[in-house]
Structure 1
């Protein structure tokens, strides 16, 4: 399946033929190369969506829950457990 009209393919094939130095007998090669180039071009040259379409809908922001203020007792690390001395 080709993308592009015959006139677009013809114009590109002619330009490619000129750039190659006008070789004789390779018209089909340039035609097929032009078809391939135009078939790949729509994905690369497709216009970017408008900024309004490209943006996702804003996410709902969760309200922050009230946090308990830190106190001196929560700031201190817990003490290591004491080991008991063995009775003799």
Structure 2
């Protein structure tokens, strides 16, 4: 499981433009995303979702929508002068 989280944290970090001093933030965001994906995989499929996978769903219904609220934004390094 840690390998999955590590890969996801790296992807999030890369996508945010490689900000420094946010490694813990990206790790925690990756943990939350992986947990959400796991729980969604374990949910029984309903009549409305049968035949529809995440790639067919509108962006607002995919993990991307959740990712926007879970991933730290790239901000100036902590402790940097403003």
Q: TM-score, normalised by structure 1?
A: 0.46
Structure with more helix by fraction: 2
Higher alpha-carbon Rg: 1
Asked which structure has the greater RCO (Cα within 8 Å, sep 6+), the reply is: 2
Q: TM-score, normalised by structure 2?
A: 0.49
